């Protein structure tokens, strides 16, 4: 019979989350509601993807929804919340990531916005092509221009390391931010951990002259897809032949505004996949990345790990109708933070050291299991409503 060793309990899991929030966030509270109560309500809502209002109704001894909203409405400083979120994200990452050399990715995450923004919200709302029944998105990241308007969203920087895929920083884009400004901010956050960049993987929305010129000036190895615009010329002129190859291309906006870069063209043969046949072309801007032409397409696909982090984040995102940018940033930040803490606990609690790579028992402690731990511990503490009454008259 195989012996078992206790690694982690539901109470220890909640303690780790609350400790992280307490260390990095400061929300003024008064009366019967203290900061720990408030954080526990937020964590309970996040663990089930629920709203604050509904969570307060489910928990028997929870502060009222009005009391919770009163305290949350004190959160107004967007820059302060952004700093606190980034501090919290960095506080719960495996130690071996720090001072290491890693592949990292910068990507963007869109959250639809509905309604007419007020003066407080306008700096964080941008128009774009239709998605989820709306053309507006909460601004939380960087990109370039696309048909239908300029698209901006939450930008995150993410480390692509096996068993340690964590978000290092998040940026809430202001209306005046450029793609270069967003990248510069996120790279500065990465440098605080003394991380050296092996290769930077960028979303196609960053394909523009200022970004390429800036990254080359910083001497940062990077890979990004090249956007094919127009019917002839441009990148499209290189999408031909039956073999992958390398070339150079000069992209220009005017006589004195241009940049020259290495362009790698990859040919893939579709063998009936999605009922398509023939040659499919992929174009990449490449600068000092140590990867073979035959492997670059597979290598770039590794960055889709950041998109899986968005799916995980959506499992634990607090639902809200509140339009305050700072509060919404806090809720999104908590969701990314819970994913980081999950990876942190896997690495330090649900694992064993051994020669070579650490043995991680990831199948024993999925993110949904951690969220269940958080939910049940808070429900045990506060109790849940088990009866419903209606007025006799």
**pLDDT at position 125, please?**
57
Structure tokens belonging to residue 311:
């799916």
Give the pLDDT band of residue 96 (cuts 50, 70, 90). confident
Q: On the CB side of 176, how many CA atoms lie within 13 Å of its CA?
A: 0
Give the pLDDT band of residue 143 (cuts 50, 70, 90). very low
**pLDDT at position 150, please?**
33
Residues 6 or more apart from 222 whose CB is under 8 A from it? 199, 200, 201, 202, 215, 285, 286, 287, 288, 289
Give the pLDDT band of residue 35 (cuts 50, 70, 90). very high
Task: Supply φ then ψ for residue 312, to 5 degrees.
Answer: -65, -40
Nearest to 14 by CA among 300, 386, 380: 380
DSSP character for 227?
P
**pLDDT at position 145, please?**
37
- Look at residue 149 and tell me whether its pLDDT is greater than 50: no
Nearest to 62 by CA among 321, 328, 381: 381
Q: What is the pLDDT of residues 182-200, one digit of tens each?
A: 999 999 999 999 999 999 9
**pLDDT at position 121, please?**
57
Q: What is the pTM of this model?
A: 0.85
Low-confidence winner among 87-96, 151-160, 369-378 (lowest mean pLDDT): 151-160
Give the pLDDT band of residue 301 (cuts 50, 70, 90). confident
- Which of 82-96, 101-115, 130-144 has the highest mean predicted lDDT (pLDDT)? 82-96
- Look at residue 1 and tell me whether its pLDDT is greater than 80: no
Give the pLDDT band of residue 162 (cuts 50, 70, 90). confident
Low-confidence winner among 40-54, 111-125, 299-313 (lowest mean pLDDT): 111-125
Q: What is the pLDDT of residues 245-263, one digit of tens each?
A: 999 999 998 878 899 999 9
Instruction: Between 154 and 93, name the one with better pLDDT.
Output: 93
**pLDDT at position 262, please?**
96
The average pLDDT across 178-182 equals 91
Is residue 150 within 8 Å of 175, Cβ to Cβ? no
Nearest to 328 by CA among 102, 170, 218: 170
Pairing outcome for strands 154-159 and 196-202: unpaired
Instruction: Between 1 and 193, name the one with better pLDDT.
Output: 193
SS (H, E, C) 88-119: HHHHCCCHHHCCCEEEEEEEEECCEECCCCCC
**pLDDT at position 130, please?**
47
**pLDDT at position 60, please?**
93
**pLDDT at position 2, please?**
58
* CA angle, residues 105, 106, 111, in degrees to nearest 5: 130
The average pLDDT across 172-179 equals 82
Q: Which residues pair with 101 in a beta bridge?
A: 196
Structure tokens belonging to residue 92:
């719960």
Residues 6 or more apart from 198 whose CB is under 8 A from it? 101, 102, 103, 221, 290
Share of the chain above pLDDT 90, in %: 54
């Amino acid at each position: 019979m195989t012996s078992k060793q206790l690694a982690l309990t539901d109470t220890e899991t909640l303690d780790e989350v609350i400790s992280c929030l307490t260390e990095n966030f400061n929300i003024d509270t008064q009366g019967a509601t203290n900061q720990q109560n408030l954080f526990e309500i937020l964590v309970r809502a996040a663990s089930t993807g629920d709203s604050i209002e509904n969570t307060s109704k489910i928990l028997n001894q929870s502060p009222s929804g009005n009391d919770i909203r009163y305290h949350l409405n004190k959160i107004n400083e967007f820059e302060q919340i952004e700093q606190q979120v980034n501090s919290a994200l960095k506080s719960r990452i495996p130690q071996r990531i720090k001072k290491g050399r890693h592949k990292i990715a910068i990507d963007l995450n869109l959250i639809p916005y509905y309604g007419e923004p007020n003066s407080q919200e306008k700096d964080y709302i941008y128009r774009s092509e239709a998605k989820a029944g709306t053309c507006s998105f909460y601004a939380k990241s960087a990109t370039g221009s696309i048909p239908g308007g300029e698209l901006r969203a939450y930008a995150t920087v993410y480390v692509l390391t096996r068993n340690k895929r964590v978000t290092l920083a998040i940026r809430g884009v202001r209306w005046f931010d450029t793609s270069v400004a967003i990248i510069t901010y996120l790279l500065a956050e990465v440098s605080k951990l003394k991380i050296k960049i092996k290769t930077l993987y960028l979303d196609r929305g960053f394909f523009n002259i200022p970004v390429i010129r800036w990254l080359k000036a910083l001497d940062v190895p990077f890979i990004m897809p090249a956007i094919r615009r127009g019917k002839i010329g441009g990148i499209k002129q290189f999408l031909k032949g039956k073999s992958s190859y390398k070339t150079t291309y000069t992209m220009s906006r005017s006589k004195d505004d241009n940049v020259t870069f290495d362009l790698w063209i990859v040919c893939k043969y579709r063998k009936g996949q999605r009922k398509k046949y023939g040659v499919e072309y992929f174009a990449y801007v490449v600068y000092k990345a140590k990867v073979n032409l035959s492997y670059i397409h597979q290598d770039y696909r590794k960055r889709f790990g950041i998109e899986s982090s968005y799916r995980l984040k959506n499992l634990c995102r607090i639902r809200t109708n509140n339009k305050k940018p700072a509060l919404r940033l806090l809720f999104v930040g908590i969701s990314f933070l819970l994913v980081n803490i999950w990876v942190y606990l896997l690495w330090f609690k649900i694992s064993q050291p051994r020669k070579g790579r650490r043995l991680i028992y990831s199948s024993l402690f999925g993110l949904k299991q951690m969220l269940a731990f958080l939910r049940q511990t808070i429900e045990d503490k506060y109790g849940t409503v088990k009866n419903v009454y209606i007025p006799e008259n």
